[in-house]
Amino acid sequence: MSSRNRKIYVYRGRPRRNNNFNTFCTVLGFIFLICALDTYSKKSENQLELVNDEELLTLIKTEKYVVVLFTKKDCEVCDNYETELIHIREDLVDSLNAWVVKAVNSPMVRLYSPTKEPALVFFRHGNPLLYDGPLNDELMLHTLTDNKEPVVKELSDDTFEHLTQAATGATTGDWLVMFYSNECVDCQRLQARWEAVGSKLKTRMNTARVNKGANGAATSRRFEVQEVPSFILFRQGKYYRYTLSKHDVASLVSFAEHGYKNARGVPVPVPLSPFDDLTIAIADYLRENQWLFTVGLGTFGIGVLLALWHKIRSSKQKSPEKKKK
């Protein structure tokens, strides 16, 4: 065989055998890749995207709508919630362009749910709404899509009477109001539940909140609100104070619907005059800072004793002069 034929043999022989082997490896790798992607796709379809607390905070701050399932390991009820939420995930993405994720064993759940996991929370521009309903995908979808915007209104001293017309019992309807303060931890943890209360009552009455420690201080004094959180129903010129220690969604909704009938209705007072409001503000301040009252009383007592001592000393100094004359 000539050298030329030998080259042709080498060119047409061994490389052809290597090409077949390479092709076989390529096809095998392609099949393996397809199987891996299919397995991953099926696994992703059966699970929600997992995020940590830092990622979740970023989503809440930057995204318009975020649906979060707070869950934990080895929790059958949590798994059932995740299954129901997976059924409506595509609908939530299509209708709201929402992120649908889960957080496992996150301490953040204490900010939104008193019963902890499982807890389904819907963030609208960062404003949380706790889902408080049965484990049903259709009802979950209806609740989330029907509450795209926050329901609870923020009232202040300037807007309270104008919007509620509480003293006149006029046309704006009934109002269920929560009094809170920025320093109250329990009030902060009530925000998601209070939105849930508002979502259940929004076709029948208004739901609002007033900041007792800031721009709602005068309104709080007007209705003698001493502790926060406090809840008052304003209905037809009267107000009814919620006195139960339970702050769950069902109890608050029940009070607004019919439980108020067991409470004493008090006629709504007219707004306080500036002088009356100042007087009550001073009394409240002394009540909240009793040490000031103690110091003031002690100072007054010392002043009285000093005045008496000075008077006695003056009388003793005058008496010898009279005897000398």
The enclosing domain of 212 has a CATH number of 3.40.30.10
- Alpha-carbon gap, residue 46 to 39, rounded angstroms: 11
Residue type, 295: V
Orientation angle between helical segments 137-145 and 89-96, nearest 10 degrees: 20
Q: Which of 170, 243, 244, 250 is nearest to 206 (CA)?
A: 170
- Alpha-carbon gap, residue 127 to 60, rounded angstroms: 9
Total domains in the chain come to 3
Asked if residue 10 is part of any domain, the answer here is no
- The pLDDT tens digits along the chain (325 residues) read 444 344 443 433 344 445 665 665 676 666 655 654 444 444 446 789 999 999 999 999 999 999 999 999 999 999 999 999 999 999 999 999 999 999 999 999 999 999 899 999 999 999 999 999 999 999 999 999 999 999 999 999 999 999 999 988 767 899 999 999 999 999 999 999 999 999 999 999 999 999 999 999 999 999 999 999 999 999 999 999 999 999 999 999 999 999 999 999 999 998 876 656 566 556 655 666 655 546 555 666 676 667 676 667 676 665 555 544 4
Q: Which domain range does residue 247 map to?
A: 153-272
Q: Are residues 122 and 194 in the same domain?
A: no
> Which of 82, 117, 145 is where one domain is finished?
145
Measured on CA atoms in the order 76, 81, 82, 87, is the torsion positive or negative?
positive
> What is the tens place of the pLDDT at every residue in 47-98?
899 999 999 999 999 999 999 999 999 999 999 999 999 999 999 999 999 9
Cβ atoms of 149 and 202 closer than 8 Å: no
Q: Are residues 129 and 203 in the same domain?
A: no
Q: Are residues 231 and 249 in the same domain?
A: yes
